[in-house]
Structure 1
Amino acid sequence: MSFLVARDMRGGYGAEDILQGCTVEADRGEIAVIVGPNGAGKSTAMKAIFGMLRLRAGSITLDGADLTRMKPTDRVRNGMSFVPQVKNVFPSMTVEENLEMGAFIRRDDFSGTMDEVYSLFPVLAEKRRQPAGELSGGQRQQVAVGRALMTKPSLLMLDEPTAGVSPIVMDELFDRIIDVARTGIAILMVEQNAKQALEIATRGYVLQHGRNAHTDTGEALLADPDVRRTFLGG
């Protein structure tokens, strides 16, 4: 069994189920990527896994523990950390204050974790006294990821981490995501830049209409002519 298992998820908003029985898994040290067309249920799946959307059916387990009915705050205490696509920093707070907010559940000395975040994102160390709202889009994403890492998660969930950034910044963010996975943290990521995301993915999920259309390694999905033609633009 994988470290994260989100099995047969069904749920949505109101009376309509957006998720139609999809399953997503991720192991420690692995990058699992969810791709698919707009409206496929990618972000909805992430919200369901984090507890922001109550499932009508299905289950969520992390390291064997059933989190299906837990609130998001309890899921954080059990090892999940989630970076939403928008409004993911406190713009009036400094970089360092944002990171400190990420350690809200901790009662130990988290200075070592902050040093690790600064080592991962050196530009944040340079701008630690600067309000996050004054940073570039890519730097704000680094703050958001860094704050999520301050909880010392075992599963890091990223919803469109490269949205609105330049190709150069996207490549840099992907490199840092690889670095995080190498520490043993499981990564689950929704990404519109499907080709680039699948290039770094240990496993990939192509969703369509809330269902698993294709599931394989990132390399195999990139080589699949049907996936390339239907979802990756040829």
Structure 2
Amino acid sequence: MSEPFLIGEAMVGGYGAANILNGCTIAVEKGEIAVIVGPNGAGKSTAMKAVFGMLRLRGGHVRLDGQDISALSPQDRVARGMAFVPQTHNIFASMSVEENLEMGAFLRRDDIRPTLEMVYHLFPILRDKRHQPAGELSGGQRQQVAVGRALMTQPKVLMLDEPTAGVSPIVMDELFDRIIEIARTGISILMVEQNARQALMIADRGYVLVQGANRFTGTGAELMADPDVRRTFLGG
């Protein structure tokens, strides 16, 4: 079998002397949505940071499109086609929406206007508010700016850490709809989500982490149907 497009395999690592990741493996194929769920403190965000190079691994490796990128910095991973949207502090509040989006294209030397137009098509409210300071937007709109800015890098992999944290159920559904649209363009989506049930409904594959290790792995539908997953992690 061919290797997944992106894989963090048997990852071990943490902060200080303690390991938070204890051999977990996370993978996503091209154009797939992969979701990491689990209880608080399970290592979900740490796994994302390890895949993106923000945490140096003590064991395991990360490979993108067959190439070992374990030693690369986050900046070098961006140049290879990875984009990461952190849960907080993910916009420049005093800059306009459009300036935020343009900042996402800082590595590019080509015409960014078609990508900008694609972002505005995906998130029409950003076009309406493009001259407004991003810090004045609602929480859901700020998340759209953060995702849009990541898309300006023309990523092959888009990594989202809690994209729906603190937004209303209606906004959450809208964001998930846009995430599905993005994946349909061939971009791989890897995300951590507290709203596990809703996230697994759109996931091609899901990973349930407990104490930094894989507890359950399967398609979103398989995990939704698993009585142990439902009882322990989805509220029955």
Fold shared per TM-score above 0.5: yes
Aligned residues: 234
Aligned residue number for residue 180 of structure 2:
178
TM-score normalised to structure 1 length = 1.00
Task: State yes or no: 1:193 paired with 2:209.
Answer: no
Which residue identity does 1:58 align to in structure 2?
A: G
Separation in 2, partners of 1:233, 1:218: 16
User: 5+ residue gaps in structure 1?
Assistant: none
Aligned residue number for residue 120 of structure 2:
118
Aligned residue number for residue 162 of structure 2:
160
Show CA shifts across 1:52-76 (max 9, x none): 1000011001111111010000000
Separation in 1, partners of 2:64, 2:189: 13
Show CA shifts across 1:160-180 (max 9, x none): 000000000000000000000
Separation in 2, partners of 1:111, 1:74: 24
Task: State yes or no: 1:71 paired with 2:73.
Answer: yes
Aligned residue number for residue 202 of structure 1:
204
Deviation for aligned residue 1:117: 0.2
SS in 1 for 2:61: strand
SS in 2 for 1:138: helix
Task: State yes or no: 1:58 paired with 2:60.
Answer: yes
TM-score normalised to structure 2 length = 0.99
User: 5+ residue gaps in structure 2?
Assistant: none
Show CA shifts across 1:165-219 (max 9, x none): 0000000000000000000000000000000000000000000000000000000
Show CA shifts across 1:133-162 (max 9, x none): 000000000000000000000000000000
Q: Return structure 1 stretches of 4+ with deviation > 6 angstroms.
A: none
SS in 2 for 1:175: helix
Task: State yes or no: 1:216 paired with 2:218.
Answer: yes
Selected match of 2:28 from 19, 26, 29: 26
Which residue identity does 1:176 align to in structure 2?
A: R
Deviation for aligned residue 1:233: 1.1
Selected match of 2:134 from 123, 132, 135: 132
Identity of aligned residues (%): 72
